[in-house]
């Protein structure tokens, strides 16, 4: 993207994430295309703009704007759930003020990607793509030999989430999950959704939530 924002006419030609995926999948396949695009969003190689954005600070009412707003590259490591982003361009980011550590929630609707930037993703040799397609079959054969049937390999966990990032997540989690909704399964699901592809250490989640009441109340002796 050149300096400044695109005109409304130019922005109409930008790509929604599923459209960008369709282009990149031709050489990378579905999982590889998501990684290729997301890594370039992190690195500010691909510019992204939100045409409809809502900001929420702490417990205050959200403010909404329909102006074209660039999505900062640093936001992508705080995306809550990538699935809706790849479906329709909607994304929620959990961030905080570095000076006060106050939590912010930014919701972007209909994010589009600069097609010129997406077009810079290099094509890979055909032989390499064929090797990638052959890999699942090889894994299935090994699984079949081990237990008599084809099985999916367990996903490999990424690096553990840092204590600081978990602390920032917990500030936002407490605003969303309260009372009976504040359970360990909900906390783990929320953290894993925010840090997709990273390893969430459950003991650290328990430390942040603190002691929880459990068990039945004892009966009074008569």
pLDDT tens digits for 175-204? 777 788 888 888 888 888 777 677 888 888
pLDDT score of 115 more than 70: yes
pLDDT: which is higher, 103 or 221: 103
Q: Are residues 104 and 194 in the same domain?
A: no
CA 206/CA 153 separation, integer angstroms? 29
pLDDT tier, 156 (very low <50, low <70, confident <90, very high otherwise): very low
Q: Are residues 100 and 192 in the same domain?
A: no
Residue 98, in any domain of the structure: yes
Mean pLDDT, all residues of the chain: 80
- Residue range of the domain that includes 98: 10-118
Q: Are residues 27 and 112 in the same domain?
A: yes
Residue 124, in any domain of the structure: no
pLDDT tier, 143 (very low <50, low <70, confident <90, very high otherwise): very low
pLDDT tier, 126 (very low <50, low <70, confident <90, very high otherwise): very low
Q: Are residues 114 and 167 in the same domain?
A: no
pTM over 0.75: no
Q: Are residues 113 and 187 in the same domain?
A: no
pLDDT at 166: 82
Domain count for the chain:
2
Residue 140, in any domain of the structure: no
Residue 37, in any domain of the structure: yes
For residues 33-51, average pLDDT: 95
């Amino acid at each position: 993207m050149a300096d400044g924002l695109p005109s409304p006419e130019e922005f109409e030609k930008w790509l929604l994430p599923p459209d960008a995926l369709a282009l990149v999948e031709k050489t990378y396949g579905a999982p590889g295309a998501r990684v290729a695009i997301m890594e370039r969003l992190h690195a500010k190689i691909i510019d992204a703009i939100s045409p409809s954005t809502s900001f929420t600070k702490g417990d205050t009412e959200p403010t909404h704007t329909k102006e074209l707003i660039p999505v900062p590259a640093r936001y992508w490591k705080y995306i809550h759930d990538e699935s809706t982003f790849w479906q329709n361009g909607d994304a929620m980011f959990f961030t905080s003020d570095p000076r006060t550590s106050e939590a912010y929630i930014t919701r972007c609707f209909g994010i589009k990607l600069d097609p010129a930037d997406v077009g810079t993703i290099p094509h890979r040799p055909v032989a390499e793509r064929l090797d990638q397609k052959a890999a699942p079959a090889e894994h299935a054969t090994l699984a079949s030999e081990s237990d008599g049937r084809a099985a999916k390999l367990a996903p490999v966990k990424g690096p553990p989430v840092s204590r600081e990032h978990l602390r920032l997540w917990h500030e936002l989690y407490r605003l969303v999950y309260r009372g009976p909704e504040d359970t360990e399964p909900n906390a783990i699901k929320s953290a894993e959704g925010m840090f997709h592809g990273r390893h969430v250490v459950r003991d650290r989640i328990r430390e942040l939530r603190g002691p929880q009441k459990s068990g039945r109340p004892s009966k009074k002796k008569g």
